[in-house]
Amino acid sequence: MNHPIRKAKAEDMPAVLALITELAVFENEPDAVHISVETLITYGTGANPLFTCFVAEDEEEIVGMALVYYRFSTWEGKSLHLEDLIVSKKYRGKGYGKALYNQVMRYAVSQDVNRVEWVVLDWNTDAITFYENSGALFLKDWHLVQMNKERLQKYIHSIS
Amino acid sequence: MNHPIRKAKAEDMPAVLALITELAVFENEPDAVHISVETLITYGTGANPLFTCFVAEDEEEIVGMALVYYRFSTWEGKSLHLEDLIVSKKYRGKGYGKALYNQVMRYAVSQDVNRVEWVVLDWNTDAITFYENSGALFLKDWHLVQMNKERLQKYIHSIS
């Protein structure tokens, strides 16, 4: 199977946002996507982007994407975070996911990072099996913690 | 309590690395720190740093630090990640941790990010209580997944 993967350009971002929205629906969070095509163009293109997005195409239609950016680990130094890897439902099982995953791992090697990290929902058993088969390490003793904008404003108000 | 917090400079990085190593020991991973003072200077100072480090001082000695960097959420856009918040053991309970935490949250507001995110070990109950009291949200249905350099090389070899 030959699935060429390339970096996303500004004109690909509407298709990328459609994939992000499709994943949010799959994750039972249909209203969670608060970004726009403009947000993706602002932070994902230009001279100093905040992230790099790879896309997979099927006859010029974008059917999958993987979005990555650098992080800094105080144990390992420069690392790469895989924020999302999405293949549109009707194109699953054709190797696009693996092609995107492999591209991310090759990119990590080319950028000389010391770790690739991501998160997975504990009920997403297909993804977990895929990651396990690729040799990834699961860290089950950590919790994710977040302050969204509303919680942040409330906290800042409480300490002012 | 007045605990002035400032951004770390290159000459602070030996003290920052000492704090990172102290935390690794606390987390039962004494050999996990693979970075050097040089790594911290390379990625944490200069015109385009990968992270920002804040330090807390007690009579000119660095007794705590908080290290943050930007991430990109496909739901929320630009966000801030709190990688480490460390106060040296003999200075705990004096308000340095809270001063660093508050600085991170104020910095998040000043940078107009839409989310602050971090992780905590599930047995670190003191930290969990502190974060809960500040209004942070805990996401317990996600697993962290990692490929370190060794696993990455092995995987790349398997797909070549």
- Distance CA(A107)–CA(A105), nearest Å, equals 5
What pTM value is reported for the model?
Answer: 0.95
Distance from CA of B136 to the nearest CA of A (A): 5
Q: Which residue numbers in chain B have pLDDT < 70? A: 1
Closest residue in chain A to residue B111, using alpha carbons only: A149
Strands A52-58 and B5-7: unpaired
Q: Is A139 helix (H, G, I), strand (E, B) or coil?
A: strand
Active site residue B131: yes
Chain B contact set for A83 (CB, 8 A): 71-74
Q: Which residue has the tokens 């195409």?
A: A57
Looking at this predicted complex, what is its ipTM?
Answer: 0.94
Answer whether B140's CB lies under 8 Å from B132's CB: no
Number of domains in chain A: 1
* A1 pLDDT higher than 80: no
Q: Identify from B72, B124, B156 which residue to disrupt to test chain A contact, counting A C-beta atoms within 10 A and taking the largest count.
A: B72
CB pairs under 8 A between A and B: 217
Q: Percent of chain A scored above 70 by pLDDT?
A: 99
State the Cα–Cα distance between residues B56 and B44, nearest whole angstrom.
Answer: 16
Residues A113 and A79: beta-carbon distance below 8 Å: yes
Which pLDDT band, with edges at 50, 70 and 90, does A158 fall under? very high
DSSP annotation of B136: P
Helix or strand or coil: residue B40?
A: helix
> With 80 as the cut, is the pLDDT of residue A133 above it?
yes
Domain of residue A52, CATH code: 3.40.630.30
Tokens 């697993």 belong to which residue?
B143
Structural domain for A58, as ranges: 5-159
Query: What is the band of A27 on the pLDDT scale with cuts at 50, 70, 90?
Result: confident
Cα atoms in the Cβ-side hemisphere of radius 13 Å centred on A27:
21
Residues of chain A with pLDDT > 90, as a percent, come to 92
| CA gap A119, A137 in Å, rounded | 11
Q: Minimal Cα–Cα distance from B106 to chain A, Å?
A: 7
Cα dihedral sign, B41-B46-B48-B54:
positive
| Cβ neighbours of residue B3 closer than 8 Å, sequence gap 6 or more | B56, B94, B95, B96, B99
